[in-house]
Structure 1
Amino acid sequence: MNRPAEFRSGSGRMRGYIFMTNFGVHAVMTAALVAAVPAMAAGDDAISDGVIKIGVLNDMSGIYADMAGRGSVIAAEMAAEEFGGAIRGKPIVIVSGDHQNKPDVGVTLVNRWIDEEQVDVIADIPTSSVLLAVQEIGRQKNRLVLASTGGSSDFTGKACAPTGIHWTYDTYGLAVGTGLPLADQGPWYFLTADYAFGHALERDTTAAVEAAGGKVVGGVRHPQGTSDFSSFLLQAQGSGARMIGLANAGADSVNAIKQAAEFGLSASGLKLAGLYLHITDIHAIGLETAQGLIMTQAFYWDLNDETRAWSERFFARHGAMPTMGQAGTYSAVRHYLQAVTDAGTDATDAVNAQMRATPVNDMFAKNGHIRPDGRVVHDLYVLEVKSPAESTRPWDYLKLIRTVPGDQAFRPLDQGGCPLVTGGAAG
């Protein structure tokens, strides 16, 4: 139920920002910001409604809460803080909501945000079925959609929109990073989450494997949020496959990997390809079980001094190192806010144009750019999970195998079927 915001002075790291959820509304503001509100209201009207309002939409309590959830909201807050909590004297408002991995819930919430609460941009959005539904709202209502944790490559393919920007990864990139190098380890069999993301990940990885001369012998689809994978793993074991591709995510991937270890599948010669894993998944599985898994990431906290410095600040607030999606949410929101600053307005068309004209340079990406189909082009990283003996400190879980340059990591511009693209090569 939506209630009037309650303003009060705050303390600690959350000062100066307004936070909302679809379970209720509250706000936390510094005394200085509260005192400044009347002056802000008298400012110019380049900032609509006197605020820059960002909606972080994700799974706050379900199977994707660890990879997105509250951590993505914190990442957005960190981006807002870099701008002092305001642009042109107008406060930055962070709104958050739980879509419960249900498209109808996500659509209802986003429509309310835009129609009643004047939210300017939607960010994060795991669960591709929700993401693709929100993409259509952004198209119809001219609101930017900055996807960080939703992954279907259809977002910048057949479902692309002028207002949609895919920031962190996609299923094509995962297939190139993880599937392609393991193509000859098959035959392959897929355990696929039965919704848009899983279908796209299986499709894109199958294409990569077969293009490299590998073979796929079958697959099975499981409901999102499955707790018992025994029957699916037995089907994979009986298929004649040597490689099980996990086209799922979050708790589904964690449960499948743990249960495969319990059943002793590796002893029978079967290998697992975790096509979409996060550092929080490795933390949940444990190095003893996860060691040797190959994973593709757009960000890893321990890559360099810059990623470490940002991640340690994030850890101090969240108690876990950031996933690539959470880091991507920070980068997307930061880039958006810089575009608002440079354009001098939060009008969608002006900000969209400014974002696309400006390279992405932060701890997440260097010299990244937004293509006409909305794909943000940047490097991806292929990493291997360390053994317990190789890990020297908490969260020291991964070692870099190779870097995939951005122009190789993502689908060529002219091959995605995006109606916005009339031809030309990837840039």
Structure 2
Amino acid sequence: MVREYLAQTGPEIVLENRRKMQLDWGFILTILAVASTFLGNSLVRLDLGIFTLYPLRLLGFMGVFYMLINQKWDDPFLSFTSKFIFFMMILGFISIFWAPDTVLAIKEFGVLQTGLTLTWLLTKYINTEKRVELVLLIWVLGAILVNMIGLWEVVNQKFLIVEKMGGKLEREIERIGALAPRSIFVNQNNYAFFNAITAPVLLGMFVKKTRPLWHYLVTGFSLALSVYLLISSYSRAAMGGFALALIFFAVFTFFTKSNHKISVLKLLGIAAIAIALIVAVNTSLLDVITNKLDMVVEKNNQRTDESRADIYAENLALVANNLGIGMGPGSSYDKVDNLPPHNFFLQILVEYGLVTVLGFLWIFYRVFKRYGLYKQVMPDALPYILRASILAFPLMSIGPSSIVGEGIFWLWFGFIIAYSSIMLRKYCSVLPPKEID
């Protein structure tokens, strides 16, 4: 397997892949799916009753065809991931028949299928550093689009895309004294998760060396927007997860062998100078950010987590009663609020079973391990920040009621898998294969 892996990095294969680039419809479909992630399911949509059709879902349906005809993998880990995705799709479809609410189960399975297909497309067709750069550029520009909508909502204190506001959200606004933006998402917690998972990726790109000036400016602008809108969303889980990712990133950067320490120190220096200039020239922006952080603290002091604990206890009781066997899509929804349990792994555990959760954890573990073993072959900070975001993900994911329907999660999940495989292949081509999985 190692010889085959090394062989695929030969110049003949590289040239052949370049010649086929224009005819690679699977890659084109993948790029369109990545771009449609930043349109969400509210900007462009068609309500068909039992399910809603939007760009990412349409492309997800088309992607199933490519999944059925492309099953050759050079990386054993990607092969395992592909089989796991198929297993989860089949399990999700079959479990519709024993789910407590069939209509809800069909809707939830459609959402799951869309996300799993996006992940599969990324692991299959994002297989070179050049393609990674294209995905990241789309991510930067897509984040600007999403966050410009959010910025408009912060400034005008009203929603741009969806005007409907539930009673719970109205009480939230009355309590914290400001409207938290939601942009293209169903609520502010899902929007906060978007920025919590996006900001580390943007930071990893910004720290990278040898980029054109325009790239630094655009990425820096997107990063600043993402962090500001993250704070404006008042989500404790999202902000805490992002902060935790930064802490782990600092640990991995300064306490392991890395070649971007100077870049990070320069970035910290620039940030310190920028803050000092803001304070010296105009303190209003700093006051705005400080006030928003104060609101987060106030929100934390006023809110109790008893209801969240009750939901967790109820779902764990369901798992115990069913011996870890999934109860079907939608079965984790709370009977009172009609919402999932605000925990990704708990939702998967209740709806799809213990085996599926273990599969996710195994994939996260292998990706995390690969980033640790092969990070030296990538001369930038992205492997370090992605590794840190894996550790922070459990905290990030408990803010929204569910992230299964969020394309940004499946984009991030598929990207970290695909990028880890590219790192392994590059490692094999430049260094002796000490630890090949």
Scaled by the length of structure 2, the TM-score of the pair is 0.26
Structure number having the greater strand percentage: 1
Structure number having the greater helix percentage: 2
Scaled by the length of structure 1, the TM-score of the pair is 0.27
